[in-house]
Every structure is written in structure tokens, then in C-alpha cells.
């Protein structure tokens, strides 16, 4: 996620330099043909261009909306993961304890149980992040494994869907706690609902990841902008040429203004494109690494740990 209030010019430049370059060449070519070379049949009336521009503006507006909604849904799902992780922790602390009429386990043992339940939740958050960014193979050992018992970490890594497996482990742990008498049936079912919330959030992220904005919508948005940019100077060239202040050079004034209008349409399309896929490890991503770290800090603070890792800070204005 880009966090600087105003985009730096190099970001703007990177987003749009290719288009700017192509627009400039094309518009210059049109001017050259129309002005010096006097090929006037290039000139078309403005009316169809204006109508095309309006229709295209609508369409890319519609697509911007849809793309933004995808980003925001992704962010909301990770917000849910934050809340649910905290609630998992709070419930774990106060539901998992010795019931009066059972043999009380040692206090240390209970603390250890709490720690395992919370650490596995941290592991799940990290595992989901790696799964969405396709980084499981590369970063599992540093990001997920430290929060799991060794053999569990090794088993889960090679499965087709590691985060699901970790929630399955939590569920098994709850059943065992129930069987040991450290968790009542009623509370077990309540905790299982938290697992359901996590499964739903995970599934929502996977849905956004696996189902791109329907290609037929997105692709034509791209095509329309370029078609419009192609037609624009043909409609403008005569309008500029007919003004006489600069004589035969006046037509060249068209280039900057035609490029400017093309650029605005292009930027709207490209900006929509940036937020279409929020889990791609690029600079417009939902900042999952930062969110995971913040969950880790929260949960470890709740465990009473004092040596906490620091928050992730933005690097070059970008928070991953």
C-alpha cells in the first residue's frame, strides 16, 4: 500500500511513462501528416469523438468502482482477520482453564496451552499471507515455522492448502482440550465459530485472488481507452489547425493538449487496474505483512511477552 499523501513523481512516471511516450509519438505523427505533409483526409469531425469520449469515461468509471471495491473487500477481510485473531486470543484465555471439578493441571501447562493456541493463530495469518502471495515455498521457514511445533510446521508446508490445515489443527486441539476436561462442550462450539469466521475470511481472500475482474470487462476498458486515444487527434487536428495565431505552426499546439486528454483517460484506467488484484505483492497491495506483524504484536502482548518485534514501517513510501 502506497502511504504517502501525494504520489511521488517517479511513481506517477512509472505508471504512465509508456503510454505518455506512445501518445506523444502518435500525436506528433498525426500533426506531421496533417500540417507539413498536408494530408487532410485524416481530419474527422469532432462529434463522434466527443460521444466516444463520454461513453468511454462512463465505462472506465464503472470499472474504477469495481476495482476499488475489490481492494476494499480485500482490506475488510484482513480487518476481520485482525478482529477475529484478537477475539480468538481473548476467548482462548478465558475459556480454556481447569473446570472446578476436574484435576487441575499445572498453571504452567495452561499457559503453555494458551501460548500454543495463540502462536498457531499467528502462524495461520502468516501462512495465509504467503499462500495468497505464492511465497509459501520461499518464506515458510522464517515466517510460519517459528510459531508452530516443528513437526506440525513440516507437515503443513507441503500440503496444497496450508492455512486450512492449521485451522484443522486448532480444531483438533480444541477437541483434545475438551476430552481432557479443560474446555466445556459449550465453549468448544463457541470457539469453533471463531474458526468458521477465519475460514470465511480465508475463503474470501482466495476468491478475490482466484477470480480476477472478469477479463471481458477489464480488457475492453483497456481497448476503449486506446481506441479513444487513437481517434482523439484526428478529431482535434483541424480545430487546432484552423486557429491562426501561430500560422502554420499552430497545429503543433494540438500535441500537448491531445496527449493530456489521452493521459487523463489512461490514468483513470491504469489507476483502476492497480487495485484490481490486492494480493500480488506490488506497491498497491493490501499491506498484509504489516497487518500480520501487528497481529503478532497484539497477541504476544496479550500473552504477557515483553520482547516484541517492532511494527513494519513503510519503505520508500510503501507498506507491504
CB of 52 to its own copies, least distance (A): 5
For 38-184, where are the alpha helices, taking DSSP H only?
Answer: 46-95, 107-132, 136-143, 150-157, 162-180
Rule CB under 8 A: choose which of 28, 91, 115, 280 binds its own copies: 91
Total residues at the site for its own copies (CB under 8 A)? 119
Q: Which is nearer to its own copies, 142 or 151 (CB)?
A: 151
Question: In the beta sheet, which residues pair with residue 315?
Answer: 318
| CB nearer its own copies, residue 139 or residue 231 | 231
* Closer of 101 and 142 to its own copies (Cβ): 101
Indicate whether 32 belongs to the interface with its own copies (CB under 8 A): no
Site for its own copies in 139-198 (CB under 8 A): 159-161, 164-165, 167-168, 171-172, 174-175, 179, 184-187, 189-190, 192, 195-196
Instruction: Choose the binding region for its own copies from 18-26, 107-115, 136-144, 297-305 (rule: CB under 8 A).
Output: 297-305
Q: Are 292 and 129 in contact (CB under 8 A)?
A: yes
Residue from 14, 141, 219, 282 binding its own copies (CB under 8 A): 219
Burial of 150 (0-12, 13-18, 19+ CB in 10 A): exposed
Cα separation, 166 vs 120, in Å, equals 7
**Do residues 237 and 30 lie in contact, with contact meaning Cβ atoms separated by under 8 Å?**
yes
Residue with cell 461513453: 55
**Beta bridge partners of residue 318, listed in sequence order:** 2, 315
C-beta of residue 126 within 8 angstroms of C-beta of residue 162: no
Task: CB nearer to its own copies: give 150 or 214.
Answer: 214
Q: Are the C-beta atoms of residues 23 and 259 closer than 8 Å to each other?
A: yes
CB of 40 to its own copies, least distance (A): 3
According to the binding rule CB under 8 A, does residue 277 interact with its own copies?
no
The answer to whether the beta carbons of residues 78 and 286 sit under 8 Å apart is: yes
Q: How far apart are CA 117 and CA 112, in angstroms?
A: 9
Q: Quick check: 135 binds its own copies (CB under 8 A)? A: no
Nearest-approach distance from CB 147 to its own copies, in angstroms = 19
Buried b (16+ CB within 10 A) or exposed e, 187-223: bbeebeebbeebeebbebbbebbeeebeeeebeebbe
Q: Assess 250 for contact with its own copies (CB under 8 A).
A: yes
Binding residue (CB under 8 A) for its own copies from 265, 269, 279, 292: 265
Q: How many residues does the chain have?
A: 320
Least distance from C-beta 48 to its own copies, angstroms?
Answer: 5
Minimum distance, C-beta of residue 94 to its own copies, in the bound complex (Å): 4
CB of 172 to its own copies, least distance (A): 6
Amino acid at each position: 500500500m502506497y502511504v504517502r499523501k501525494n504520489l511521488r513523481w517517479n511513481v506517477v512516471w512509472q505508471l504512465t511513462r509508456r503510454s505518455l511516450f506512445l501518445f506523444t509519438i502518435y500525436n506528433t505523427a498525426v500533426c506531421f501528416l496533417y500540417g507539413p505533409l498536408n494530408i487532410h483526409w485524416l481530419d474527422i469531425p469532432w462529434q463522434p469523438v466527443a460521444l466516444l469520449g463520454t461513453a468511454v469515461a462512463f465505462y472506465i468509471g464503472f470499472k474504477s468502482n469495481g476495482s476499488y471495491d475489490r481492494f476494499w473487500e480485500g482490506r475488510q477481510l484482513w480487518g476481520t482477520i485482525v478482529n477475529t485473531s484478537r477475539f480468538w486470543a481473548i476467548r482462548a484465555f478465558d475459556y480454556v482453564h481447569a473446570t472446578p471439578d476436574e484435576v487441575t493441571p499445572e498453571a504452567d501447562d495452561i499457559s503453555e496451552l494458551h501460548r500454543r493456541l495463540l502462536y498457531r493463530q499467528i502462524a495461520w495469518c502468516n501462512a495465509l499471507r504467503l499462500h495468497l502471495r505464492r511465497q509459501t515455498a520461499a518464506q515458510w521457514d522464517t515466517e510460519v515455522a517459528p510459531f508452530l511445533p516443528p513437526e506440525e510446521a513440516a507437515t503443513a508446508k507441503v500440503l496444497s492448502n496450508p492455512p486450512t490445515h492449521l485451522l484443522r489443527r486448532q480444531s483438533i486441539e480444541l477437541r483434545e482440550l475438551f476430552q481432557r476436561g479443560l474446555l466445556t462442550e459449550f465453549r468448544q462450539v463457541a470457539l469453533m465459530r471463531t474458526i468458521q469466521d477465519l475460514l470465511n475470511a480465508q475463503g474470501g481472500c482466495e476468491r478475490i485472488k482466484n477470480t480476477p475482474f472478469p477479463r471481458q470487462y477489464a480488457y475492453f476498458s483497456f481497448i476503449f481507452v486506446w481506441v479513444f486515444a487513437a481517434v482523439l487527434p484526428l478529431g482535434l487536428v483541424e480545430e487546432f489547425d484552423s486557429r491562426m495565431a501561430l500560422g502554420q505552426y499552430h497545429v503543433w499546439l494540438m500535441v500537448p493538449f491531445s496527449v493530456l486528454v489521452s493521459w487523463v483517460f489512461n490514468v483513470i484506467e491504469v489507476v483502476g487496474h492497480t487495485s484490481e488484484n490486492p494480493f500480488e505483492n506490488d506497491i498497491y497491495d493490501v499491506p498484509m505483512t504489516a497487518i500480520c506483524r501487528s497481529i503478532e504484536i497484539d497477541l504476544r502482548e496479550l500473552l504477557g511477552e515483553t520482547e516484541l518485534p517492532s511494527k513494519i514501517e513503510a519503505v520508500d513510501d510503501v507498506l507491504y
